[in-house]
Chains A and B, each alone.
Chain A
Amino acid sequence: MAPRADLLRLAAVADALLLLLATGLVVFYAPADAVQGVVQKIFYLHVPAAIAAYMAFAVVLVGGLVYLWNESPAADRLARAAAEVGLVLTTVTLVMGSIWAKPIWGTYWVPWDARLVSTLVLWLIYAGYLLMRRIATPGRQAARFGAVVGIVGFIDVPIVHFSVTWWRTIHPPIETAAPGALPPAMLLTFAISSLAVLLLAAVLIGYRYRLEALRERLAAALDR
């Protein structure tokens, strides 16, 4: 059962407005950071994208588990849609993070930071997932393999993070931005932009799912 087109369109329009509002807040309302200046505003996209990416990959995990449980094609379709959207969001996270890191840390990439490494590994795992889905025989086989890679991959990510954190303790610590207490204006901006990005992710997954469902229905109809 595909999500209804009119509901999806409604959500898309609502999210477009929300994104506009978030952009407005980021540019005109949120104060510039005392230490980092304007660059800090990247975080209003960077952090929500990271959160949304993790949630998308959690959907891949759950979709995979459900598929292995009852072989429902819908669960697999959802997992696949979420993996694609999650990969795009991870890309956004990495690129935004690098742009931020250049002026703040003086380099695009810090090889021993756990968060950077695990985000990159996350990207690589799901890029591998999507490549595998493209190569495997569509249908049951691709769905099963997808479920396995989606589950094992999700388990691996916190372990990567943990290993690098463990490894780093014997290296000079890197400088991280002190979080501190956020002023209310920043908090509000962050909340609105997070909501906008999460809704965007949901809408994209919905459209991707619907596209796949329609394609399968078309194939079934042509077959008959």
Chain B
Amino acid sequence: MRAIEAVGLRQRYGTRTVLGPLDLVLEEGERLAVLGENGSGKTTLLRLLATAARPAGGELRLLGLDASTERTELRGRIGYLGDVAGHYPALTALENLEFFCDLQGVERPRARATLELVGLAAAAHRPAAELSRGMAQRLGLARATLHAPQLLVLDEPDAGLDEEGREVLAAVVAGRTLVLATHDRELASRLCQKSLDLSRRGLEVYR
């Protein structure tokens, strides 16, 4: 089964085309880095892949399902971390995750286990408002992987991450199907097998 199958995918805001038309195929288990300058459409593409937006044109199938009609089903199978993490500031890190356990329909103990996985166990009872940028980003990673998604979509997850955080990121994405937007080509080649440069419109395979 293919994780992503896009044909002629396009997006526009108002009358301005901001993405595509784009053809893209990602097999299950593959990891793709999306590169490109600011404004080249990275976030737009990732939002489409996370079913956070609907395409203006073209076809998009994710995990064998139609991205515009089978969204509910897809949302239980895709993990997404957007350009803004969007945690609840008054809730603790653990409570934030437990809340999403309830929404995703997974057992609550998963929250603590995932928190440990991203190295936030010590901060479990700190309000999200008091987390540093890097810690908030780790919490975002935890939220995106809480429900063991089959496709992980991460929008510049390395923003604000320290060295240890990058190790965590590498550990989290290992063995998963991944789409990752980043400006860091070194990180991209380390974590992914393929890259897509939206500024140049070329699909490259790392060797």
Instruction: Please say whether the chains A and B touch (CB closer than 8 A).
Output: yes
Please report A residues at the B interface, Cβ cutoff 8 Å.
138, 140, 219, 222-223
Contact across chains for B54 and A223 when beta carbons are under 8 A apart: no
Task: Kindly list chain A residues whose C-beta atoms are within 8 Å of the C-beta of B199.
Answer: none
Contact across chains for A219 and B15 when beta carbons are under 8 A apart: yes
Q: With an 8 A cutoff between CB atoms, is B17 at the interface?
A: yes
Specify the main secondary structure of chain B where it touches its partner. loop
CB distance from B3 to the nearest CB of A (A): 26
Task: Kindly list chain B residues whose C-beta atoms are within 8 Å of the C-beta of A219.
Answer: 15
Please report B residues at the A interface, Cβ cutoff 8 Å.
12, 14-15, 17, 54
Contact across chains for A140 and B15 when beta carbons are under 8 A apart: no
Name which residue of chain A comes closest to B68, CB basis: A71
Name which residue of chain B comes closest to A140, CB basis: B54
Task: Kindly list chain A residues whose C-beta atoms are within 8 Å of the C-beta of B14.
Answer: 138
Contact across chains for B15 and A222 when beta carbons are under 8 A apart: yes
In angstroms, Cα B14 to Cα A222, docked, is 11
Task: Kindly list chain A residues whose C-beta atoms are within 8 Å of the C-beta of B15.
Answer: 219, 222-223
Q: Can you give 7 contacting A-B residue pairs, CB < 8 Å?
A: A138-B14, A140-B54, A219-B15, A222-B15, A223-B12, A223-B15, A223-B17
Name which residue of chain B comes closest to A220, CB basis: B15
Going nearest first, the 7 A-B pairs with the smallest beta carbon separation are: A223-B15, A219-B15, A222-B15, A223-B17, A223-B12, A140-B54, A138-B14
Task: Kindly list chain B residues whose C-beta atoms are within 8 Å of the C-beta of A138.
Answer: 14
Specify the main secondary structure of chain A where it touches its partner. helix
Name which of B12, B14, B17, B54 has the most chain A CB atoms within 10 A of its CB. Answer: B14
Task: Kindly list chain B residues whose C-beta atoms are within 8 Å of the C-beta of A140.
Answer: 54
CB distance from A134 to the nearest CB of B (A): 15
Task: Kindly list chain B residues whose C-beta atoms are within 8 Å of the C-beta of A222.
Answer: 15
Name which residue of chain A comes closest to B15, CB basis: A223
CB distance from B21 to the nearest CB of A (A): 12
Task: Kindly list chain B residues whose C-beta atoms are within 8 Å of the C-beta of A223.
Answer: 12, 15, 17
Name which of A138, A140, A222, A223 has the most chain B CB atoms within 10 A of its CB. Answer: A223
Task: Kindly list chain A residues whose C-beta atoms are within 8 Å of the C-beta of B17.
Answer: 223
CB distance from A141 to the nearest CB of B (A): 10
In angstroms, Cα B17 to Cα A219, docked, is 12
In angstroms, Cα B15 to Cα A15, docked, is 37
CB distance from A140 to the nearest CB of B (A): 7
CB distance from B56 to the nearest CB of A (A): 9
Task: Kindly list chain A residues whose C-beta atoms are within 8 Å of the C-beta of B12.
Answer: 223
In angstroms, Cα B56 to Cα A219, docked, is 14
In angstroms, Cα B16 to Cα A222, docked, is 10
CB distance from A67 to the nearest CB of B (A): 15
Task: Kindly list chain A residues whose C-beta atoms are within 8 Å of the C-beta of B54.
Answer: 140
In angstroms, Cα B12 to Cα A223, docked, is 10
Name which residue of chain B comes closest to A138, CB basis: B14
In angstroms, Cα B14 to Cα A223, docked, is 9
Name which residue of chain A comes closest to B12, CB basis: A223
Name which residue of chain B comes closest to A222, CB basis: B15
In angstroms, Cα B17 to Cα A136, docked, is 20
CB distance from B165 to the nearest CB of A (A): 35
In angstroms, Cα B186 to Cα A113, docked, is 74
CB distance from B166 to the nearest CB of A (A): 37
In angstroms, Cα B67 to Cα A20, docked, is 56
CB distance from B193 to the nearest CB of A (A): 35
In angstroms, Cα B15 to Cα A138, docked, is 11
In angstroms, Cα B13 to Cα A223, docked, is 11
In angstroms, Cα B14 to Cα A131, docked, is 19
In angstroms, Cα B12 to Cα A219, docked, is 12
In angstroms, Cα B17 to Cα A121, docked, is 41
Name which residue of chain A comes closest to B13, CB basis: A137
Name which residue of chain A comes closest to B16, CB basis: A223
In angstroms, Cα B56 to Cα A140, docked, is 11
In angstroms, Cα B18 to Cα A202, docked, is 39
In angstroms, Cα B17 to Cα A36, docked, is 63
In angstroms, Cα B25 to Cα A97, docked, is 65
In angstroms, Cα B17 to Cα A138, docked, is 16
In angstroms, Cα B14 to Cα A198, docked, is 35
